Amino acid sequence: MNLEKVFKNLIIILLALIVLVTISVFYQSDAIKDFNENATYGIFDRMGELGLLLGFLIEVIISVLYFISLYLLYKFKPFGKKLFVYVFIISTIFGFFAGDFATNAFVFNLFLLIAALDGAIIAFLYFTPIKEKFD
């Protein structure tokens, strides 16, 4: 089994799932959309207009860095390994402060698959011979 090919395919599957989640979020029921429109945005909502802008800006920066890290991982660049782990940790911490969010079962399971693939990528980066490609 070629670990490089498996690793690259994990990244491609992860990107496909992210696209699928993005599309699926727009096709949720009206009840879920209503809840999300009226939900609070955690700590950022309490900070007012500036807080919402700050939260959005942080989300955009994390997302851009996440996609950059995936590209660098796909190309086996050493900085990609560090960037992916840092973005993973920061986005996890950020999630604790993000507030309420409702979704349907399909989107929820896609989020779980994305989290599982993130974990699999981290396992590949540190516990397989792939780690030598990033030295």
Longest Cα–Cα distance of the chain, Å, equals: 53
Question: Minimal CA–CA distance to 110: which of 39, 13, 32?
Answer: 13
pLDDT at 36: 63
The percent of residues above 90 in pLDDT, for the chain, comes to 59
pLDDT in tens, 46-101: 676 777 788 789 889 999 999 999 999 999 999 999 999 999 999 999 888 877 77
The Cα 124–Cα 131 span in angstroms is 7
CB-hemisphere CA count at 13 Å for 129? Answer: 6
